[in-house]
Amino acid sequence: MLVKKLLVLSVLSVGALWVGGKLAADDKAAKDDKAVKKEDKKEDKKAGNASPLEEMDADTAKEYGGMIAGLFSKQLKAADAQVKIDADVDKSVGLVNMSTREGIIAIPVKNFKEDRENKAVETDSGLGICYLFMSQTYNPLVDGKPVDVKKLRTVKFSDGEGNERAATCLLCSVKHVEGDDWQLYVYGADKQPLIKSPFGEAGEAPEADLGLAIQDPTPEKGQLVFNLFGKYSASITVGLKHKDK
């Protein structure tokens, strides 16, 4: 009788261990699955917020930048230009969305260099540093809203496939306000700048005299960062949502 009871207890103990082990294993598997799904969501979110723009080929930036600059220079009256820009097309840089063939191009002035002693930085409009041309998808935002098109200058042109395109044309300058306060001024059609953005130290910036990058992108907008001489940076908010999306 005693042997029988011990046998029953042994069977129950083994059963309990098996059930307990299975529950523990199931619980671990569930936690692992939950962790995997959480990581997948993070990756999906990261992918969803990835910038639609990548670095533009130098020859492409030069080709389209030169074409738009030529059209813009014919359209822009010298008296209406807030700052003087003598563009160096060979130094054009840009970002492009390969899916839509839209992008942003900056063309620095000739002999672009760091020049804190230039008297123009102390003037009201600052020292002209570059043209900024952008597909209208990427028009600047102010206070989270698109800038009124009446405050922007545009040129129209045909791309390599004969499609009519329009580019927003902006003039950019560096202004010394006071002390260590240096700002990027971005001009549209009005006498006063559309945007004023402070310069700070650049983090992990390219060594180029002028570089562009998109930071903190969302499906709606992002920060267009201007990197100067691998040392300084300023940013403006631009739209990223294509009109057909």
pLDDT digits (tens, 9 = 90+) for 185-226: 999 999 999 999 999 998 777 778 999 999 999 999 999 999
Same domain? For 102 and 117 the reply is yes
Q: Which of the two residues, 50 and 9, has the higher pLDDT score?
A: 50
The CA-based dihedral angle spanning residues 217, 223, 229, 230, taken in that order and rounded to the nearest 10 degrees:
-40
Bridging pattern class, strands 195-198 and 145-146: unpaired
Same domain? For 188 and 72 the reply is yes
In this prediction, residue 49 carries a pLDDT of 67
CB 174 within 8 A of CB 210: no
Q: What share of the chain is helix, strand, coil (3-state, %, to 5)?
A: 35, 35, 30
CB 107 within 8 A of CB 65: yes
In this prediction, residue 5 carries a pLDDT of 42
In this prediction, residue 17 carries a pLDDT of 34
In this prediction, residue 204 carries a pLDDT of 75
In this prediction, residue 160 carries a pLDDT of 74
In this prediction, residue 159 carries a pLDDT of 78
**Across residues 233-240, what is the average pLDDT?**
96
CB 226 within 8 A of CB 198: no
Same domain? For 145 and 75 the reply is yes
Q: Which residues pair with 224 in a beta bridge?
A: 214, 236
Tokens of 234: 């300023």
Same domain? For 61 and 136 the reply is yes
Confirm whether 17 is domain-assigned: yes
Q: Which of the two residues, 211 and 10, has the higher pLDDT score?
A: 211
Same domain? For 6 and 75 the reply is no
Q: Which of 24, 48, 72 is the last residue of a domain?
A: 48
Same domain? For 65 and 168 the reply is yes
**Would you call 48 helix, strand, or coil by DSSP?**
helix
Residue range 120-178, pLDDT digits in tens: 999 999 999 999 999 999 999 999 999 999 999 999 988 777 888 899 999 999 999 99
Q: Which residues pair with 225 in a beta bridge?
A: 213, 235
The answer, yes or no, to whether residue 11 has pLDDT greater than 50, is no
Number of domain units in the chain = 2
Same domain? For 201 and 107 the reply is yes
Confirm whether 245 is domain-assigned: no
Q: Which of the two residues, 24 and 13, has the higher pLDDT score?
A: 24
Same domain? For 12 and 80 the reply is no
In this prediction, residue 243 carries a pLDDT of 62
CB 157 within 8 A of CB 67: yes
Same domain? For 107 and 189 the reply is yes
Residue 43 structural domain: 1-48
Tokens of 122: 């102390």
Amino acid (1-letter code) at residue 38: K
Q: What is the CA radius of gyration of the chain?
A: 28
H or E element, residue 211: strand 210-215
Measured between alpha carbons, how far is residue 211 from residues 57, 58, 78, 104, 221 in Å?
Answer: 13, 12, 27, 11, 19
Same domain? For 16 and 136 the reply is no
Nearest to 185 by CA among 108, 129, 115: 129
Residue range 76-130, pLDDT digits in tens: 998 899 999 999 999 999 999 999 999 999 999 999 999 999 999 999 999 999 9
The answer, yes or no, to whether residue 228 has pLDDT greater than 80, is yes
H or E element, residue 25: helix 2-48
Confirm whether 104 is domain-assigned: yes
Nearest to 196 by CA among 174, 214, 224: 174
